Structure 1
């Protein structure tokens, strides 16, 4: 059982544990819609059957071996044009935790956690709710591959596969929430530039010549950064700086 966390200020003071569920994000969103939910509430599940990933993909996870949970946040201190700052701060917190165990961890835009030479070890999916132009809640779904050692997806990996050790899920959950909270408090204090710089400094393939696909076009370019709205900036071989949204670009390297 996952208990209320004592090592945080507000995250994890209300933890809802489910042995299995379709999606922790769906459960968290249902709680928001029903009202009477506080910021920092966490929904965690041992076996997530239809966890959500980017581009409508399903996050596959074996029961009892990984961390799959959702945070309910209320980032109404941010302008809605600053939504990607929340993605960056969460990704930074998770990456920072994993770097305590793995030497080189990158964030693959927009918010996949990747270990070069091994594969994808985690991911973040942020789903926002708005009332007019006001930001009500953000549901932050997080999946981390911890002790799983076999995957249907050949691009997936885990902490256990990389380090050849097994880990205490409850301890890693506690540490991950503490790291995420620290990063979120930076965001709350307006340290957006520091958050973006940290994100860019660990951005997968940044300033490396790589192959990409946009629609039917395959081209070479270098990732140079991201816009304030979270679009990816790629400089092509011809020197043209192009901008891409999530569904407009595919990494081929």
Structure 2
């Protein structure tokens, strides 16, 4: 179904399409460990039955309606301490792609893609393969809700639900991979300050008062930014600036 891409430099020159699979990330990781994948390899699935999301959640996707895939990258030009810049790069590539179809898509820290007023439209899960201080590979799992209309999660949405249009998945696959590659190459050229600036300019709830929860305690605060290691910086109304790692803070919405 999905063919090798002609309009990219390295991403999508090796495409593996599976009608059904449990998790594209798991399959891509297995391929990397067996030396069956290289940088640019893409595993894409028509129906993913056990897709993985952030915080151990499951990504539920209706068969044949959405884009669920994993990209194999080798970002060894980054220091291990700079892992979150890869997250930023992928997220802004996806968000840029969505700009052509729907307005005002935002990146919800760390890697959800949301449309305010509608809900979550996509997500990213990056699993890194590290050997000591060396970065071997990264497997970038991406899920984008495209033509699915009904969701068990009321906070989920899709391109079709927002725009009232139906989309060609093959065409969207080609376009989203092009945007991701452009963003990744910008990172590879060392333009991390540009990547950070773009990420922050589209960060959900940046400088807006909102409710959060940490260690079972609710608080009001404003997101101020993200540090180099990927920690979310929130100005707590009562405790001042605080930093949170993954799973340490929950958005209350």
Pair 1:53 & 2:44 matched: no
The aligned residue for residue 235 of structure 1 is 235
Matches within 5 A, 1:7-86: 7-86=7-86
- CA offset at residue 238 of structure 1? 2.9
CA distance in 1 between counterparts of 2:152 and 2:37 reads: 36
1:102-155 Cα distance to aligned partner (Å, 9 max, x none)? 111100000000000000000000000011100000000000000000000000
The aligned residue for residue 114 of structure 1 is 114
Q: Is the 8 A contact 2:212 2:250 kept in 1?
A: yes
Pair 1:4 & 2:4 matched: yes
- C-alpha RMSD over aligned residues: 0.6
CA distance in 1 between counterparts of 2:203 and 2:165 reads: 26
CA distance in 2 between counterparts of 1:207 and 1:36 reads: 45
Structure 2: 5+ residue stretches without partners: none
CA distance in 2 between counterparts of 1:158 and 1:43 reads: 22
SS of the aligned residue for 1:82 comes to: helix
- CA offset at residue 36 of structure 1? 4.1
The aligned residue for residue 146 of structure 1 is 146
- CA offset at residue 239 of structure 1? 6.0
Structure 1: 5+ residue stretches without partners: none
CA distance in 1 between counterparts of 2:37 and 2:232 reads: 34
SS of the aligned residue for 2:143 comes to: strand
Pair 1:132 & 2:132 matched: yes
The aligned residue for residue 251 of structure 1 is 251
4+ long deviations beyond 2 Å: none
SS of the aligned residue for 2:165 comes to: coil
CA distance in 1 between counterparts of 2:187 and 2:231 reads: 19
Q: What is the TM-score normalised by the length of structure 2?
A: 0.99
Task: Count how many residue pairs are aligned between Structure 1 and Structure 2.
Answer: 253
Matches within 5 A, 1:201-212: 201-212=201-212
SS of the aligned residue for 1:42 comes to: strand
SS of the aligned residue for 2:193 comes to: helix
SS of the aligned residue for 1:246 comes to: coil
CA distance in 1 between counterparts of 2:219 and 2:99 reads: 32
- CA offset at residue 236 of structure 1? 1.0
The aligned residue for residue 95 of structure 2 is 95
1:176-220 Cα distance to aligned partner (Å, 9 max, x none)? 000000000000000000000000000000000000000111000
- CA offset at residue 38 of structure 1? 1.4
CA distance in 1 between counterparts of 2:49 and 2:36 reads: 27
CA distance in 2 between counterparts of 1:185 and 1:99 reads: 20
